[in-house]
Structure 1
């Protein structure tokens, strides 16, 4: 049975005189000792709450004693006299306590010398007892054995404390449980060495206020919880709490319980686990379920028009009207296409991957318009013909179909739809304009517009102003935009709508109707998709530093033998107003390009980041563009286009593709993000105007997003170039 369950069961007798050794050994063997186990729970479980046999082992010198201690963990007390042949009693005590500091040493001295007594006490002896005048004639050695019995209990208490401390140290150092212990002042005393937590050395002696880079409100709340547990003795169990701003915060699940020593509370013991990824997955699952719940109504809405056409012309077709039969056939084909499209969207959860190269926006808009609009209506596409939108065509088509239908229905010159059974929008003379904004696109018409107090409501499912309407069309628009991470707002048309009244050209400006304008921001959109022409020499990435208030310092290194860069980075996030990451860069001027292949990425979280960046400077508030990979293998684009704005993020739904090659190009204030599967065939996925002044910082960036944790990103084929435009 182990010493932890049974307690110490051996007394080591180290006595030079042979007769005295035998006398003490016999006395120990005859005595019935009470159990030395000091843990009540162990005593009850192991049945040790009774008199327990304690054996004596005798040796004649200190070296033999040390050899025995090395092989026998059951020893709970050492009895030593002052007549050893190899060492003095003081030397023996020092040698023993140095190796076994929890082991009591009792001195049973033949000579009751006060100087020796003092010396042995200073050397670490548990007790000093003088032998009786004729100790061998006193077979029970009563005083000695009572002291030995006490020493066994003391050793058990020390041994258990040391064992439990070692177990706790192992738990904190090796088991990946984010635990901590705080004192009465809420300062960390112990801190688990786990992936995703601050370094224990950085945590010891510091409060959460000093340790974390949360916003002040979150830190005040955390310290308030500490005081509640410590001062009031109340436990907090599995509380979910958010730290940091909404756009870049972290979710923690926290349990804190009082650490009590008898009636006194000495601090607290806690566990705080980062559950941000789990919360995000739950949120995404709920959003997906909501989209699937809306699926039936969306399908019904989009099928209604071709179904009406088929029903209107079926009788004429039965009578042999070939034109009517063609209209029925076209309507049925359209219904089949809608069902196939919606089925594919449902199977993908609304996040089907975008095609490599994106959607040719100009031609796509014209195709959708031709399918829904009559000849009397006009589409004005105000964008370069080569404009591409990086999304899936199936996701994009229902959005524009419903926007166009909304304009056709509500945007005719007299505010009423001109419809018959053959074509719902026949006669509608609305003009719809689609164009590009700073980071997205707009769709506007010259109709009567949407009143201010209705602009939020019209995007809700079921909202309609028409007696026969379903209120589903613009809800589909809102849902698709939300799926893409686009921001939607409704404003007046930039150029105003048509004049009120009879539409005469001489109408006053104040009489013009406002028109409806739908603006979509944070869109992956490119107006000039071709990489820049030009050449230049590679510039070395000379500077590496952490940006923002990074808790644990990152580093970057170059392996010249294989020409790779490795970034080891911490950082709370690279989103919203939080920019904390490690950056390795070169200072470049004018038109430039940075490209690299991410060959290895050890990421602690789904949203950890590693990629390429062009940044106005290395301060936390600088403007920048970025493209790279997340911890879960998705491609992410990040932008801060103007001073003071939050960082915006867009994630590509790349399906089975996981891009390794990333590039950014800058010309003037325009920055373009590229991805590639092989480093040769590059595809522009986003392009925005970023407020930049020379020189700019061009290089590699990585962020773990778990406080105190590191990610490690290795890049090769790194090229930072100032381009000489041809």
Structure 2
């Protein structure tokens, strides 16, 4: 690196005649060459604008010259005469230029041979000069040294550019800093080799429009920013951009500045960082703080009734009234239970793990109802008895108690409350006065109340718990759900609804209906179990317009399937992933154990899938694991719908076994820790044809990067229904 700061400091003379070599070397060392350093900044920093001492090195053959160049760092020019013993002049020039392309070679020939001059130039010589008569006796070799001085300056410029390019390449390759350079047409010239970014080589010459699979609006915005920087010379600093659907948005922070050559803008230099994790952390912290505040308010509210009972009956107990002490004790026990439950829930940040197998919905609803209902109030549960909800009981308790208390307080002591299925979740409705449409958003705000003595926290808690679970929550008037959902009466056990789907009879009006969608809910948790002969997964294909081609293979000796997959995502309208599948007609099951998963991103995916077709917009069900170890279920129930996602809070448990069963239009997702005991975690209606694609799916979600998933114990087969 001394040559980079001090410039070239030596001239190598390859002369077959030793006398000529010594003559030229003496002239070189006597000549006061001006500094060849072409960088004004380096000259100023190291005071190298003085005339440097230039060393002359002599060798008698081309081989010796090449050996010297391999170890001598300061050489800035090579002089070659035409008396070399081992190689011709053109061959020697070619050998030096091939190994040291930034090093000028000057040919100093004994006579002016035009053919030799032409051959040397074609070989890459910097200059061809004829020797004067009796060259050995010439004291200064003036024309030659003038050319050598020019060559030293040219070499400094070439060497400096090469070193700077190498430094930039090293920084782009090794520092994991997402830098890039674009030309005046916004085409990529250089790009950092960053994990998850496009391949730097494949990116050359492409604009963002050609390189990325963002939506068109995002691409237009990015190209507009490029043109602003290039055409107007304006900088864009730390602009935040969101790409993708809300369920799987990526946040990028971008800075772009003009790349100038004097007054001319040659392109731009930019840095784009993925700040999605930072955004999610901030969002989660804010949500957690809101939950903790709301939980504190809820605790105060929920403790009010048993506290009033305890205070009142304490006075009765002091008066000796029979049974009063037991009533006080019961109230205190209820308060203690509520404090413990809410403390546990608050400590978990609202995301405590769900029990294996979920919550028995019927019995849970009855317990929650008994806590708040009056003697004349009625609860109707329009769900099969085996229905299970995959979440934590502590998270459900405040939600249903708030909803039931809301109905009792506002609809009266003889209210009828009904709980039933929606298309992808459940509803709670009553026959009370309802909530005016204009107030349905306001009632979800903390502190809003219908009555002067109300605390105004109940429905805010409901909304917060629904948001924590990723549920869709909406308020409607009882009776208007028929037009909205289009639910039809299902067969017994179907996911859509109960016997009458909870719809109001003709003429019914009034009352309020709280709907919760995208819920991990199972009406029939029992696996059909029996399967026919396994089907081979014969087809491997990339679904969607994946930037990099995926592949899959099967090791017959071990039974292992390996998927090496790219793909942008499996969320919203985007379905880009690698799929290995078999075509199966009618009821079917796919199960597999994920043995290993090398993922480039937190939300890379690997799991099992049942899909209507292998096209990007087909309906499907999926269950598997994300790169961060969390279990995901993904659904597209109708063609053209966005993909919906739910995450399972599994605590310390790690599920390796995943399965899907299809019966009719119902698909059920199962998990297991050992491949023996299976637990249904979600069940939804998916519009499927008679024949479906059943198999393994993997997606990296990082542009230009691959994930690798290894599956064992894979079985895809028809279900044998009794």
The normalised TM-score by structure 2 is: 0.94
Question: Which residue pairs with 2:416 in the alignment?
Answer: 431
Counterpart-to-counterpart distance in 2, 1:719 and 1:108:
78
What are the residue-to-residue correspondences of 1:387-536 with 2, within 5 Å? 387-412=387-412, 428-494=413-479, 513-536=509-532
- Give the superposition deviation at 1:2: 2.2
Relative to structure 2, which stretch is displaced further, 353-362 or 451-460? 451-460
Question: Which residue pairs with 1:51 in the alignment?
Answer: 51
Show CA shifts across 1:209-237 (max 9, x none).
12222111111100001101111111222
CA contact (8 A) 1:199 1:552 kept: no
Relative to structure 2, which stretch is displaced further, 135-144 or 583-592? 135-144
CA contact (8 A) 1:32 1:53 kept: yes
- Give the superposition deviation at 1:341: 0.5
Task: Report the secondary structure of 1:5's partner residue.
Answer: helix
Show CA shifts across 1:251-275 (max 9, x none).
2111212122222211112222222
Question: Which residue pairs with 1:320 in the alignment?
Answer: 320
Counterpart-to-counterpart distance in 2, 1:555 and 1:177:
29
Question: Which residue pairs with 1:723 in the alignment?
Answer: 719
CA contact (8 A) 1:623 1:642 kept: yes
- Give the superposition deviation at 1:55: 0.7
1:680 maps to 2:647: no
Which segments of 5 or more consecutive residues in structure 1 lack a partner in the other structure? 413-427, 497-508
TM-align CA RMSD: 1.8
Counterpart-to-counterpart distance in 2, 1:64 and 1:469:
97
CA contact (8 A) 1:15 1:21 kept: yes
- Give the superposition deviation at 1:199: 2.4
Show CA shifts across 1:81-134 (max 9, x none).
222233332332222222222111112222133343333223322122222223
Change (3 A) 1:627 1:93: same
Counterpart-to-counterpart distance in 2, 1:376 and 1:282:
46
Select the residue among 694, 704, 709 that pairs with 2:705.
709
Counterpart-to-counterpart distance in 2, 1:515 and 1:590:
42
Question: Which residue pairs with 1:148 in the alignment?
Answer: 148
Change (3 A) 1:572 1:546: same
Relative to structure 2, which stretch is displaced further, 589-598 or 180-189? 180-189
The normalised TM-score by structure 1 is: 0.93
- Give the superposition deviation at 1:174: 3.8
What are the residue-to-residue correspondences of 1:349-360 with 2, within 5 Å? 349-360=349-360
What are the residue-to-residue correspondences of 1:216-295 with 2, within 5 Å? 216-295=216-295
What are the residue-to-residue correspondences of 1:125-144 with 2, within 5 Å? 125-144=125-144
Change (3 A) 1:711 1:278: farther
CA contact (8 A) 1:258 1:267 kept: yes
- Give the superposition deviation at 1:44: 2.6
- Give the superposition deviation at 1:43: 2.3
Counterpart-to-counterpart distance in 2, 1:603 and 1:285:
26
Counterpart-to-counterpart distance in 2, 1:603 and 1:289:
31
- Give the superposition deviation at 1:445: 1.1
Counterpart-to-counterpart distance in 1, 2:286 and 2:232:
38
Task: Report the secondary structure of 1:664's partner residue.
Answer: strand
Task: Report the secondary structure of 2:712's partner residue.
Answer: strand
1:611 maps to 2:607: yes
Change (3 A) 1:129 1:513: closer
Counterpart-to-counterpart distance in 1, 2:507 and 2:166:
83
Question: Which residue pairs with 1:70 in the alignment?
Answer: 70
Counterpart-to-counterpart distance in 2, 1:378 and 1:98:
92
Q: How many residues of Structure 1 are paired with residues of Structure 2 in the alignment?
A: 699
1:347 maps to 2:369: no
Task: Report the secondary structure of 1:724's partner residue.
Answer: coil
Relative to structure 2, which stretch is displaced further, 447-456 or 220-229? 447-456
Change (3 A) 1:511 1:91: closer
Question: Which residue pairs with 2:663 in the alignment?
Answer: 667
- Give the superposition deviation at 1:551: 1.4
Counterpart-to-counterpart distance in 2, 1:80 and 1:535:
83
CA contact (8 A) 2:294 2:457 kept: no
Change (3 A) 1:247 1:495: closer
CA contact (8 A) 1:449 1:513 kept: no
- Give the superposition deviation at 1:512: 5.3
1:372 maps to 2:372: yes
Change (3 A) 1:510 1:111: closer
Counterpart-to-counterpart distance in 1, 2:471 and 2:59:
83
Counterpart-to-counterpart distance in 1, 2:690 and 2:13:
83
What are the residue-to-residue correspondences of 1:24-39 with 2, within 5 Å? 24-39=24-39
Show CA shifts across 1:422-474 (max 9, x none).
xxxxxx11111111222111111111111111122112111111011111111
CA contact (8 A) 1:277 1:606 kept: no
Counterpart-to-counterpart distance in 1, 2:252 and 2:56:
55
Task: Report the secondary structure of 1:374's partner residue.
Answer: coil
1:579 maps to 2:575: yes
CA contact (8 A) 2:295 2:461 kept: no
Counterpart-to-counterpart distance in 1, 2:322 and 2:700:
65
